[in-house]
């Protein structure tokens, strides 16, 4: 297990970083694989699918309150540089490779940490798991929610921009009733019937 801060974190003792992590996770970890701690949320990253297994947040009325010093328009979707470069190679099988018939995977250009090209032309939104609106204490906090390790592919109209957005607002309203609100979010992979297709690594 590893805990780390990113985005030019200020110099702090290691025990302070762990304190942030365990304050958020005081009731336990859903899992211990590749845990990463940011200023205001903790996630476990799935390198195979290039999304988080789960993201955990501790919300208060202060963290979700409107803040004129925070400008979402300044945020950019960015690769998570805290994911080690040793995990940058993906393996795929395509009809154009000599090893295709033997079924042996061959190296292909790509990364195991999510990047913006994964979403380009896909028809899916880059959907926040830890919502940007949940982390308004300062610009740094909201910036961190735009790391692609905090994203999952989401249908835009009807879900990410509608139902999911409504759920995020409801969660924030809970901070008016409760002093502490703990939120665990993650992708759900549902089976469906589909025609047989060749895996291209995307």
Task: Write out the catalytic residue numbers.
Answer: 128
Contact 90, 199 (CB under 8 A): no
Q: What does the alpha-carbon distance between residue 43 and residue 152 come to, in Å, rounded to a whole number?
A: 13
Tokens 């949320």 belong to residue: 41
Q: What does the alpha-carbon distance between residue 94 and residue 199 come to, in Å, rounded to a whole number?
A: 8
3-class secondary structure per residue, 115-144: CHHHCCCCCEEEEECCCHHHCCCCHHHHHH
Tokens 């154009």 belong to residue: 96
Q: CB within 8 A of 95, min separation 6: which ones? A: 198
Tokens 């080690």 belong to residue: 84
160 is in an annotated binding site: yes
What angle (nearest 5°) sits at the alpha carbon of residue 182, between those of residues 179 and 187? 155
Output the known binding site for Mg(2+): 160
Output the known binding site: 160
């Amino acid at each position: 297990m590893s805990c780390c801060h990113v985005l030019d974190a200020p110099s702090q003792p290691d025990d302070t970083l762990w304190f942030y992590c365990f304050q958020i996770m005081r009731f336990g970890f859903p899992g211990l694989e590749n845990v990463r701690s940011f200023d205001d949320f903790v996630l476990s990253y799935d390198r195979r699918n290039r999304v988080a297994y789960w993201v955990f947040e501790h919300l208060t009325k202060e963290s979700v309150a409107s803040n004129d010093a925070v400008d979402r328009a300044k945020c950019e979707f960015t690769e998570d540089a805290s994911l080690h470069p040793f995990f940058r190679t993906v393996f795929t099988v395509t009809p154009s490779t000599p090893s295709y018939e033997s079924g042996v995977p061959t190296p292909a250009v790509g990364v195991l940490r999510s990047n913006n090209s994964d979403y380009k032309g896909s028809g899916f939104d880059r959907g926040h798991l830890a919502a940007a609106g949940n982390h308004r204490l300062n610009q740094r906090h909201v910036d961190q929610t735009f790391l692609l390790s905090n994203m999952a592919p989401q249908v835009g109209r009807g879900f990410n921009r509608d139902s999911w957005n409504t759920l995020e607002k409801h969660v924030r309203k809970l901070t008016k009733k409760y002093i502490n609100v703990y939120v665990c979010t993650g992708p759900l992979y549902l089976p469906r019937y589909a025609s047989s297709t060749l895996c291209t690594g995307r």
